Amino acid sequence: MTEPLHLEDLAVGQRFVSPTKIVTVEEITGFARAFDPQPFHVSEESAHATLFGGLAASGWHTAAMTMRLLVDGGPKIAGGLVGLGGEIAWPRPTRPGDTLRVETEILEIRPSRSKPDRGMVKMLSRTLNQKDEPVQTLTATIVVPRRNAAAG
Amino acid sequence: MTEPLHLEDLAVGQRFVSPTKIVTVEEITGFARAFDPQPFHVSEESAHATLFGGLAASGWHTAAMTMRLLVDGGPKIAGGLVGLGGEIAWPRPTRPGDTLRVETEILEIRPSRSKPDRGMVKMLSRTLNQKDEPVQTLTATIVVPRRNAAAG
Protein backbone atom coordinates (compact mmCIF):
# COMPACT_ATOMS: atom_id res chain seq x y z
CA MET A 1 0.00 0.00 0.00
CA THR A 2 1.28 3.41 -0.91
CA GLU A 3 0.12 6.62 0.75
CA PRO A 4 -2.66 8.36 -1.17
CA LEU A 5 -1.42 11.30 -3.22
CA HIS A 6 -2.27 14.93 -2.45
CA LEU A 7 -1.76 17.96 -4.67
CA GLU A 8 1.69 18.53 -3.13
CA ASP A 9 2.81 15.03 -4.17
CA LEU A 10 2.15 15.54 -7.87
CA ALA A 11 4.53 17.06 -10.40
CA VAL A 12 4.19 17.90 -14.08
CA GLY A 13 5.72 15.08 -16.11
CA GLN A 14 5.09 12.40 -13.48
CA ARG A 15 4.03 9.10 -15.07
CA PHE A 16 1.91 6.15 -13.99
CA VAL A 17 1.54 2.84 -15.82
CA SER A 18 -1.44 0.59 -15.17
CA PRO A 19 -1.57 -3.20 -15.16
CA THR A 20 -2.80 -4.86 -18.37
CA LYS A 21 -6.18 -6.27 -19.30
CA ILE A 22 -7.15 -8.72 -22.04
CA VAL A 23 -10.46 -7.85 -23.72
CA THR A 24 -12.82 -10.72 -24.55
CA VAL A 25 -15.60 -11.08 -27.13
CA GLU A 26 -18.09 -11.66 -24.30
CA GLU A 27 -17.10 -8.40 -22.58
CA ILE A 28 -17.42 -6.43 -25.82
CA THR A 29 -20.82 -7.87 -26.76
CA GLY A 30 -22.12 -7.73 -23.16
CA PHE A 31 -21.29 -4.05 -22.77
CA ALA A 32 -22.75 -3.35 -26.21
CA ARG A 33 -26.05 -5.12 -25.48
CA ALA A 34 -26.45 -2.94 -22.38
CA PHE A 35 -25.20 0.41 -23.64
CA ASP A 36 -24.37 0.53 -27.35
CA PRO A 37 -26.37 -2.11 -29.25
CA GLN A 38 -25.12 -1.36 -32.77
CA PRO A 39 -24.23 -4.05 -35.36
CA PHE A 40 -20.44 -3.47 -35.15
CA HIS A 41 -20.46 -3.96 -31.34
CA VAL A 42 -22.97 -6.75 -30.62
CA SER A 43 -21.68 -9.74 -32.64
CA GLU A 44 -18.95 -10.84 -35.05
CA GLU A 45 -21.62 -11.78 -37.57
CA SER A 46 -23.37 -8.42 -37.63
CA ALA A 47 -20.05 -6.51 -37.44
CA HIS A 48 -18.60 -8.14 -40.56
CA ALA A 49 -20.36 -5.97 -43.16
CA THR A 50 -19.89 -2.65 -41.30
CA LEU A 51 -17.16 -0.05 -41.71
CA PHE A 52 -15.32 -1.69 -38.77
CA GLY A 53 -15.03 -4.93 -40.80
CA GLY A 54 -15.39 -7.01 -37.63
CA LEU A 55 -16.27 -6.82 -33.95
CA ALA A 56 -15.09 -3.63 -32.22
CA ALA A 57 -15.64 -2.47 -28.65
CA SER A 58 -17.84 0.56 -28.07
CA GLY A 59 -15.68 3.61 -27.42
CA TRP A 60 -17.52 3.96 -24.12
CA HIS A 61 -16.49 0.41 -23.25
CA THR A 62 -12.87 1.35 -23.95
CA ALA A 63 -13.40 4.39 -21.70
CA ALA A 64 -14.91 2.23 -18.94
CA MET A 65 -12.07 -0.32 -19.13
CA THR A 66 -9.59 2.57 -19.05
CA MET A 67 -11.22 3.84 -15.86
CA ARG A 68 -10.91 0.39 -14.27
CA LEU A 69 -7.21 0.25 -15.19
CA LEU A 70 -6.76 3.75 -13.72
CA VAL A 71 -8.52 2.77 -10.47
CA ASP A 72 -6.34 -0.37 -10.27
CA GLY A 73 -3.07 1.17 -11.36
CA GLY A 74 -3.20 4.88 -12.05
CA PRO A 75 -2.30 7.66 -9.60
CA LYS A 76 -3.73 6.84 -6.15
CA ILE A 77 -5.34 10.20 -5.42
CA ALA A 78 -6.50 10.94 -1.84
CA GLY A 79 -10.30 10.79 -1.78
CA GLY A 80 -10.41 8.94 -5.10
CA LEU A 81 -10.16 9.62 -8.80
CA VAL A 82 -12.87 12.23 -9.47
CA GLY A 83 -13.04 13.68 -12.97
CA LEU A 84 -14.80 16.87 -13.98
CA GLY A 85 -14.52 16.08 -17.65
CA GLY A 86 -12.06 16.18 -20.49
CA GLU A 87 -11.29 15.47 -24.10
CA ILE A 88 -11.54 11.95 -25.43
CA ALA A 89 -10.57 10.45 -28.78
CA TRP A 90 -10.62 6.95 -30.22
CA PRO A 91 -7.99 6.79 -32.97
CA ARG A 92 -8.72 3.07 -33.58
CA PRO A 93 -11.12 0.53 -32.13
CA THR A 94 -10.43 -1.96 -29.34
CA ARG A 95 -10.70 -5.48 -30.77
CA PRO A 96 -11.38 -8.85 -29.12
CA GLY A 97 -8.13 -10.30 -27.74
CA ASP A 98 -6.46 -6.90 -27.37
CA THR A 99 -4.29 -6.42 -24.29
CA LEU A 100 -4.82 -2.91 -22.98
CA ARG A 101 -2.78 -0.81 -20.59
CA VAL A 102 -3.03 2.84 -19.63
CA GLU A 103 -0.08 5.23 -19.44
CA THR A 104 -0.80 8.47 -17.64
CA GLU A 105 1.19 11.67 -17.50
CA ILE A 106 0.54 14.73 -15.34
CA LEU A 107 0.27 17.74 -17.68
CA GLU A 108 -0.78 20.62 -15.44
CA ILE A 109 -1.30 21.37 -11.73
CA ARG A 110 -3.45 24.31 -10.69
CA PRO A 111 -4.44 25.16 -7.10
CA SER A 112 -8.09 26.24 -6.89
CA ARG A 113 -8.61 29.97 -6.38
CA SER A 114 -12.04 29.66 -4.80
CA LYS A 115 -11.42 26.48 -2.75
CA PRO A 116 -8.06 26.51 -0.93
CA ASP A 117 -8.39 22.87 0.15
CA ARG A 118 -7.96 21.48 -3.36
CA GLY A 119 -6.55 21.87 -6.85
CA MET A 120 -7.26 20.81 -10.40
CA VAL A 121 -4.88 18.47 -12.20
CA LYS A 122 -4.90 17.87 -15.93
CA MET A 123 -3.65 14.45 -16.91
CA LEU A 124 -3.24 12.63 -20.21
CA SER A 125 -4.15 8.95 -20.15
CA ARG A 126 -3.26 6.97 -23.26
CA THR A 127 -4.86 3.55 -23.58
CA LEU A 128 -2.56 1.36 -25.65
CA ASN A 129 -3.02 -2.08 -27.19
CA GLN A 130 -0.40 -4.85 -27.37
CA LYS A 131 1.16 -3.19 -30.45
CA ASP A 132 1.58 0.07 -28.49
CA GLU A 133 -1.08 1.69 -30.67
CA PRO A 134 -3.41 4.10 -28.89
CA VAL A 135 -7.05 3.00 -28.86
CA GLN A 136 -8.00 5.99 -26.70
CA THR A 137 -6.48 9.25 -25.54
CA LEU A 138 -8.11 11.07 -22.66
CA THR A 139 -7.06 14.45 -21.32
CA ALA A 140 -8.99 14.69 -18.06
CA THR A 141 -9.24 17.29 -15.34
CA ILE A 142 -9.45 15.77 -11.88
CA VAL A 143 -9.94 17.23 -8.40
CA VAL A 144 -7.07 16.63 -5.96
CA PRO A 145 -7.15 17.61 -2.25
CA ARG A 146 -4.26 19.48 -0.64
CA ARG A 147 -2.46 17.71 2.18
CA ASN A 148 -2.97 20.42 4.82
CA ALA A 149 -6.70 20.48 4.04
CA ALA A 150 -6.88 16.74 4.68
CA ALA A 151 -5.04 17.12 7.99
CA GLY A 152 -6.94 20.21 9.19
CA MET B 1 -39.19 3.24 -38.98
CA THR B 2 -37.68 6.41 -40.37
CA GLU B 3 -35.12 6.44 -43.18
CA PRO B 4 -31.52 6.51 -41.91
CA LEU B 5 -29.99 9.97 -42.12
CA HIS B 6 -27.18 10.90 -44.50
CA LEU B 7 -25.02 14.01 -44.46
CA GLU B 8 -27.46 15.77 -46.82
CA ASP B 9 -30.32 15.23 -44.34
CA LEU B 10 -28.63 17.06 -41.46
CA ALA B 11 -28.73 20.79 -40.79
CA VAL B 12 -27.07 22.99 -38.19
CA GLY B 13 -29.54 23.61 -35.38
CA GLN B 14 -31.47 20.38 -35.92
CA ARG B 15 -32.54 18.81 -32.61
CA PHE B 16 -33.24 15.29 -31.40
CA VAL B 17 -34.76 14.30 -28.05
CA SER B 18 -34.27 10.79 -26.67
CA PRO B 19 -36.70 8.73 -24.61
CA THR B 20 -36.16 8.77 -20.82
CA LYS B 21 -34.45 6.29 -18.54
CA ILE B 22 -34.75 5.85 -14.76
CA VAL B 23 -31.42 5.01 -13.10
CA THR B 24 -31.45 2.40 -10.34
CA VAL B 25 -29.10 1.75 -7.40
CA GLU B 26 -28.37 -1.71 -8.81
CA GLU B 27 -27.33 -0.30 -12.18
CA ILE B 28 -25.04 2.27 -10.54
CA THR B 29 -23.35 -0.22 -8.21
CA GLY B 30 -23.18 -2.94 -10.90
CA PHE B 31 -21.42 -0.67 -13.39
CA ALA B 32 -19.11 0.57 -10.63
CA ARG B 33 -18.10 -2.92 -9.50
CA ALA B 34 -17.10 -3.72 -13.08
CA PHE B 35 -15.47 -0.47 -14.16
CA ASP B 36 -15.13 2.14 -11.42
CA PRO B 37 -15.00 0.47 -7.98
CA GLN B 38 -14.57 3.57 -5.84
CA PRO B 39 -16.39 4.16 -2.49
CA PHE B 40 -18.76 6.85 -3.87
CA HIS B 41 -19.94 4.53 -6.69
CA VAL B 42 -20.17 1.02 -5.17
CA SER B 43 -22.61 1.41 -2.23
CA GLU B 44 -24.72 3.94 -0.33
CA GLU B 45 -22.83 3.05 2.85
CA SER B 46 -19.36 3.67 1.49
CA ALA B 47 -20.52 6.76 -0.46
CA HIS B 48 -21.89 8.54 2.59
CA ALA B 49 -18.59 9.91 3.95
CA THR B 50 -17.17 10.94 0.54
CA LEU B 51 -17.31 14.33 -1.16
CA PHE B 52 -20.38 13.11 -3.08
CA GLY B 53 -22.26 12.68 0.23
CA GLY B 54 -24.14 9.69 -1.15
CA LEU B 55 -24.21 7.22 -4.01
CA ALA B 56 -23.35 8.72 -7.41
CA ALA B 57 -23.02 7.05 -10.81
CA SER B 58 -19.59 6.86 -12.38
CA GLY B 59 -19.26 9.53 -15.04
CA TRP B 60 -18.49 6.72 -17.48
CA HIS B 61 -21.77 5.08 -16.53
CA THR B 62 -23.56 8.35 -17.31
CA ALA B 63 -21.70 8.38 -20.63
CA ALA B 64 -22.70 4.77 -21.36
CA MET B 65 -26.37 5.42 -20.49
CA THR B 66 -26.25 8.52 -22.70
CA MET B 67 -24.99 6.38 -25.58
CA ARG B 68 -27.86 3.95 -25.07
CA LEU B 69 -30.37 6.81 -25.13
CA LEU B 70 -28.74 8.13 -28.31
CA VAL B 71 -28.89 4.72 -29.99
CA ASP B 72 -32.56 4.40 -28.97
CA GLY B 73 -33.61 7.96 -29.71
CA GLY B 74 -30.89 10.16 -31.09
CA PRO B 75 -30.28 10.90 -34.77
CA LYS B 76 -30.62 7.67 -36.80
CA ILE B 77 -27.41 7.98 -38.82
CA ALA B 78 -26.94 5.69 -41.84
CA GLY B 79 -24.34 3.08 -40.94
CA GLY B 80 -24.71 3.81 -37.22
CA LEU B 81 -23.57 6.32 -34.66
CA VAL B 82 -19.77 6.25 -34.87
CA GLY B 83 -17.86 8.78 -32.78
CA LEU B 84 -14.27 9.82 -33.28
CA GLY B 85 -14.11 11.56 -29.92
CA GLY B 86 -15.14 14.78 -28.28
CA GLU B 87 -15.32 16.85 -25.15
CA ILE B 88 -17.16 15.57 -22.12
CA ALA B 89 -18.05 17.22 -18.81
CA TRP B 90 -20.00 16.13 -15.76
CA PRO B 91 -21.36 19.28 -14.07
CA ARG B 92 -23.14 17.18 -11.40
CA PRO B 93 -23.46 13.47 -10.65
CA THR B 94 -26.25 11.13 -11.72
CA ARG B 95 -28.05 9.87 -8.60
CA PRO B 96 -30.19 6.78 -7.97
CA GLY B 97 -33.77 7.43 -9.07
CA ASP B 98 -32.80 10.11 -11.59
CA THR B 99 -34.75 10.15 -14.84
CA LEU B 100 -32.36 10.91 -17.68
CA ARG B 101 -32.98 12.08 -21.21
CA VAL B 102 -30.61 13.31 -23.90
CA GLU B 103 -31.17 16.41 -26.03
CA THR B 104 -28.93 16.65 -29.06
CA GLU B 105 -28.27 19.57 -31.37
CA ILE B 106 -26.27 19.58 -34.59
CA LEU B 107 -23.53 22.22 -34.27
CA GLU B 108 -21.41 21.82 -37.38
CA ILE B 109 -21.41 19.89 -40.67
CA ARG B 110 -18.20 19.44 -42.59
CA PRO B 111 -17.77 17.30 -45.74
CA SER B 112 -14.53 15.33 -45.62
CA ARG B 113 -11.77 16.67 -47.88
CA SER B 114 -9.93 13.39 -48.24
CA LYS B 115 -12.95 11.04 -48.33
CA PRO B 116 -15.75 12.31 -50.62
CA ASP B 117 -18.18 9.59 -49.46
CA ARG B 118 -18.59 11.06 -45.95
CA GLY B 119 -18.49 14.06 -43.68
CA MET B 120 -17.87 14.95 -40.04
CA VAL B 121 -20.68 16.26 -37.89
CA LYS B 122 -20.19 17.94 -34.55
CA MET B 123 -23.11 17.50 -32.20
CA LEU B 124 -23.83 18.60 -28.64
CA SER B 125 -25.64 16.05 -26.50
CA ARG B 126 -26.84 17.27 -23.13
CA THR B 127 -27.91 14.59 -20.66
CA LEU B 128 -30.52 16.10 -18.33
CA ASN B 129 -32.11 14.81 -15.13
CA GLN B 130 -35.77 15.20 -14.10
CA LYS B 131 -35.04 18.75 -12.87
CA ASP B 132 -33.65 19.67 -16.30
CA GLU B 133 -30.18 19.93 -14.78
CA PRO B 134 -27.34 18.70 -17.01
CA VAL B 135 -25.47 15.69 -15.59
CA GLN B 136 -23.32 15.48 -18.72
CA THR B 137 -22.51 17.55 -21.76
CA LEU B 138 -20.82 15.88 -24.69
CA THR B 139 -19.65 17.61 -27.84
CA ALA B 140 -18.88 14.71 -30.14
CA THR B 141 -17.63 14.45 -33.70
CA ILE B 142 -19.29 11.65 -35.63
CA VAL B 143 -18.79 10.21 -39.12
CA VAL B 144 -21.80 10.49 -41.44
CA PRO B 145 -21.97 8.96 -44.96
CA ARG B 146 -23.18 10.98 -47.94
CA ARG B 147 -26.28 9.72 -49.69
CA ASN B 148 -24.79 9.38 -53.16
CA ALA B 149 -21.90 7.35 -51.74
CA ALA B 150 -24.38 4.93 -50.17
CA ALA B 151 -26.27 4.60 -53.43
CA GLY B 152 -23.22 4.35 -55.68
Q: What span, in angstroms and rounded, lies between the C-alpha atoms of B140 and B74?
A: 13
In the prediction, which pLDDT does A3 show? 86
Which residue, among B50, B60, B69, B90, would best test binding to A if mutated, counting the most A CBs under 10 Å from its CB?
B60
pLDDT at B149: 57
Across the interface, which of B35, B38, B90 has its CB nearest the CB of A65?
B35
pLDDT at B51: 87
Contact status, residue A121 vs residue A142, Cβ threshold 8 Å: yes
pLDDT of residue A59: 98
Tens digits of residue pLDDT in B32-61? 999 999 999 999 999 999 989 999 999 999
Residue B81 and residue B75 in contact, taking contact as beta carbons nearer than 8 Å? yes
Greatest distance between any 2 Cα atoms in chain B: 60
Q: Do B88 and A86 touch (CB under 8 A)?
A: yes
A 10 A CB-CB count for A54 gives: 13
Q: Identify the segments of chain A with pLDDT beneath 50.
A: 150-152
Mean pLDDT per block of 10 residues along chain B (152 residues) reads 88 97 98 98 95 96 98 92 95 98 97 93 98 98 84 44
pTM above 0.80, yes or no: yes
Question: For chain B, how many residues are written?
Answer: 152
Degrees to nearest 5, angle at CA A70 with B128 and A146: 80
Separation between Cα atoms, residue A73 and residue B56, nearest integer Å: 22
Number of other residues whose CB lies within 10 A of the CB of residue A78: 16
Asked if B84 has any chain A CB less than 8 Å from its own CB, the reply is yes
Quote ipTM for the complex: 0.94
